[in-house]
């Protein structure tokens, strides 16, 4: 079941070259048990790789790459107000969104067209257009590869926060997510506050939008803003929007009064794209990697490059933003390097 010396360049949306010492797909606890006891890889480093839409492979991987193979979308509970839906970790996230809005359910429409698989959604608490995975999550199931034991965490136990969760902590590096459960509403209020969403609905003369209408509009907006990874390697937004104190914002706005910012609790969220653009990086190319010409937050791989070259570019951007604004940008993708 384990293949050796496998090229996994096609398994990451950046299209970065990477040779895995071992690679396998698993869809059951029995299969995992067999693989984890394999003499050749029993004590090797492991990498759990789903759709590969949120990773940077910065070189060959000397251990075992495990790709989950848990599928299925089904309603497991319902009442007059809501439905509880389960989805296997290997289901494409956008497929789940489209399925939900086709049923007329509310909750996932603003998360349309986010690349990747369902198993990755809780990792960084994916979010877009005013919604987050944590808004609808009820539980996440996983297998601990160290003990080969099965577990389920409630939404509260997942410790969701802005682009993070318990699954990003070092103690969870060998947790393989097998499925998620979500509670969706039969009726609800649509979130149309994000710039461009309501305007596009109006242009289409949609006066009373349904969840499917919102999902379609957001999909169109994302396609206009973000490059298709099938055409140009990327992982969407590369840096998190920094969350800072009001004092930091006041200091920056003294020199840049037009700086976009949003309140989030007692902190302020800044636009990483704006910070990067002010430093002149938008559209900049550095050999086989660069910053997208239309979106400063998207780093791209033009081909024949490496993960290390991409990380060198990211480091240069981080340094410039820190020197000019005193802000330490943090990457969204998981960095895999040895």
What are the structural domains of the chain? 3-68 (3.30.43.10), 73-225 (3.30.465.10), 233-336 (3.90.78.10)
Are the CB atoms for 288 and 302 separated by under 8 Å?
Answer: yes
Residue range 122-155, pLDDT digits in tens:
999 999 999 999 999 999 999 999 999 999 999 9
CB crowding 125-144: b at 16 or more within 10 Å, else e: bbbbbebbbbbbbbbbbbbe
Question: CA-to-CA distance for 206 and 194, rounded, in angstroms?
Answer: 17
Catalytic residue among 90, 139, 237, 306: 237
The pLDDT value given to residue 25: 97
Whether 86 is catalytic is no
Q: What is the DSSP letter of 250?
A: H
Residue range 39-56, pLDDT digits in tens:
789 889 999 999 999 999
The pLDDT value given to residue 306: 97
Say whether pLDDT at 338 is over 80.
Answer: no
* CB-side neighbour CA atoms (13 Å) of 103: 20
Confidence of residue 265 (pLDDT cuts 50, 70, 90): confident
Catalytic residue among 82, 163, 183, 306: 163
Are the CB atoms for 207 and 147 separated by under 8 Å?
Answer: no
Are the CB atoms for 148 and 90 separated by under 8 Å?
Answer: no
Catalytic residue among 91, 109, 132, 332: 332
Rounded to 5°, angle at Cα 27 from 53 and 34: 115
Q: What is the DSSP letter of 206?
A: -
Whether 332 is catalytic is yes
Shortest CA distance to 119 belongs to which of 62, 172, 45? 172
Question: CA-to-CA distance for 50 and 68, rounded, in angstroms?
Answer: 6
Say whether pLDDT at 70 is over 90.
Answer: yes
Whether 102 is catalytic is no
């Amino acid at each position: 079941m384990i293949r050796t010396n496998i090229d996994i360049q096609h398994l990451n949306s950046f299209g970065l070259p990477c040779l895995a010492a071992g690679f396998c797909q698993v869809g059951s606890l029995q299969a995992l048990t067999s693989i984890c006891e394999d003499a050749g890889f029993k004590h090797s480093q492991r990498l759990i790789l789903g759709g590969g839409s949120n990773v940077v492979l910065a070189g060959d991987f000397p251990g075992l790459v495990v790709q989950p193979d848990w599928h299925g979308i089904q309603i497991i509970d319902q009442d007059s107000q809501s439905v509880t839906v389960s989805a296997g970790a290997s289901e494409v996230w956008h497929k789940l969104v489209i399925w939900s809005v086709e049923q007329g359910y509310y909750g996932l429409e603003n998360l349309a067209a986010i690349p990747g698989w369902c198993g990755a959604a809780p990792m960084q608490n994916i979010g877009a257009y005013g919604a987050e995975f944590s808004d609808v999550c009820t539980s996440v199931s996983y297998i601990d590869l160290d003990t080969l034991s099965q577990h389920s965490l409630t939404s509260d136990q997942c410790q969701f926060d802005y682009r993070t969760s318990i699954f990003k902590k070092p103690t969870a590096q060998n947790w393989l997510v097998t499925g998620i459960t979500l509670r969706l509403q039969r009726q609800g209020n649509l979130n149309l506050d994000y710039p461009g969403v309501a305007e596009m609905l109006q242009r289409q003369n949609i006066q009373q939008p349904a969840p499917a209408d919102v999902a379609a509009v957001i999909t169109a907006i994302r396609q206009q803003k973000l490059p298709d990874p099938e055409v140009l390697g990327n992982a969407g937004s590369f840096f998190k929007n920094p969350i800072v104190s009001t004092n930091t914002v006041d200091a920056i706005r003294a020199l840049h009064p037009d700086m976009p910012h949003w309140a989030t609790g007692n902190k302020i969220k800044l636009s990483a794209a704006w910070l990067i653009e002010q430093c002149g990086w938008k559209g900049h190319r550095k050999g086989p990697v660069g910053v997208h010409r239309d979106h400063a937050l998207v780093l791209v791989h033009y081909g024949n490059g490496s993960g290390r070259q991409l990380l060198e570019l990211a480091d240069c951007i981080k340094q410039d933003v820190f020197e000019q604004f005193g802000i330490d940008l943090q990457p969204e993708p998981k960095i895999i390097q040895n």
